[in-house]
Amino acid sequence: MKRWGHHVTMSGFLVFLVFPVSAHTQDLELLVAHCASGGTPSLLAACSNALLAGQALQGGITIADAAGTELPGTSSTIGGLFGRSPRVSLATSIRAAFFEMPDVHGQGTDGQGTNTVTSYGLKGTVVIGVLDGFSISPTVGGIFSLDLLGSLGLLLLDERDGFTDNQTVMSGGMRLGLFRESFTMPGFTISVVQRYGGAVGWGNTGSLQTQIDTDVSATSVRATVGNDLFALALLAGIGWDWSKGALGVQVTDPVDRNIRGVASTDNLISRRDIYFIGMSVTRFILQVSLEAGWAGGYSNLPGYQGAYDSGRRAPFMGLAGRITL
């Protein structure tokens, strides 16, 4: 039974590993063409940079809230207390994400530079174990167990990077357990969470102005596997984020400053893959965990000649504390 359980767990995890996870985005070409219409050739480059910057901002800000695991430090559902009453887990975390965007500040010269932006997230999460699942042996259990979760996060965005304000994100979702961690089995959990954020504004000053407005909302799916190894518990996982929401840009033509390029969409959807690892230490009901990983990039914009690489990975890391009652 022990060997069978391990084979099932690894087979399930390999399904996620071989599933195509290359990032893709809604086609930006039409938005670029609309933005650049009626302007000089220099406006085409400026519009391309601004729209790619908007896409980078949308995904880069989101990952500071989403990161890797939905419940820090564990690859198992928390289960029911004494078989019937639900258990409750409370977690707080601080996270940081690092991503690149085109240097739209400098597009008045050649527009070929890039900027690295750091976004920070403070987050509180509540998880309630509602279904304990069933067992097929004393050490193989938690099958189809279920947790419900909710969280509130604050994204700290620096005005020096061009942001106009911080952002609040609310999340809700569930964690489905396929196996609960035991002496013979690793924990294996799948989570689905919807994140709701508002509009984020970005802008620069001067005669060559660029204004970007985007929504910070996303759907996140995660698959996590892990187990205790002596004093430490280790986990690893993969996942996908679908960032979605409105995106609008206004750009000054670098050659003719009386011309403004404008483009917008109500629903830009960009998908990216997520990879992460973590470790944790537990003392009674308190657990402290560390996590690190990266988000994959996006598809290239056809014809784009700038220095910005939309396929570049965006690393993230986080520190969390959690208690389970």
Global pTM reads 0.88
Residue 5: pLDDT above 70?
A: no
Domain that holds residue 163: 2-324
- Helix axis angle for 41-66 and 29-36, nearest 10°, is 140
pLDDT at 7: 41
pLDDT at 209: 84
pLDDT at 139: 85
Per-residue pLDDT tens digits for 226-270: 998 878 999 999 999 999 889 999 999 988 989 999 999 998 888
What value does the mean pLDDT of the chain take? 87
Helix ranges (H only) for the chain are 2-18, 29-36, 41-66
pLDDT at 207: 65
pLDDT at 164: 86
- Reported as a pLDDT band with limits 50, 70 and 90, residue 106 is low
Give the number of domains in the chain.
Answer: 1
Residue 4: pLDDT above 60?
A: no
Per the CB < 8 A criterion, the answer to whether 242 and 271 are in contact is yes
pLDDT at 160: 83
Per-residue tokens: 78: 């928390």
pLDDT at 297: 93
pLDDT at 122: 97
Per-residue pLDDT tens digits for 75-84: 999 987 655 6
Per the CB < 8 A criterion, the answer to whether 222 and 236 are in contact is no
> What DSSP character marks residue 104?
G
- Reported as a pLDDT band with limits 50, 70 and 90, residue 22 is very low
Report the percent of the chain where pLDDT is more than 90. Answer: 65
Range with the largest mean pLDDT of 3-12, 84-93, 219-228:
219-228
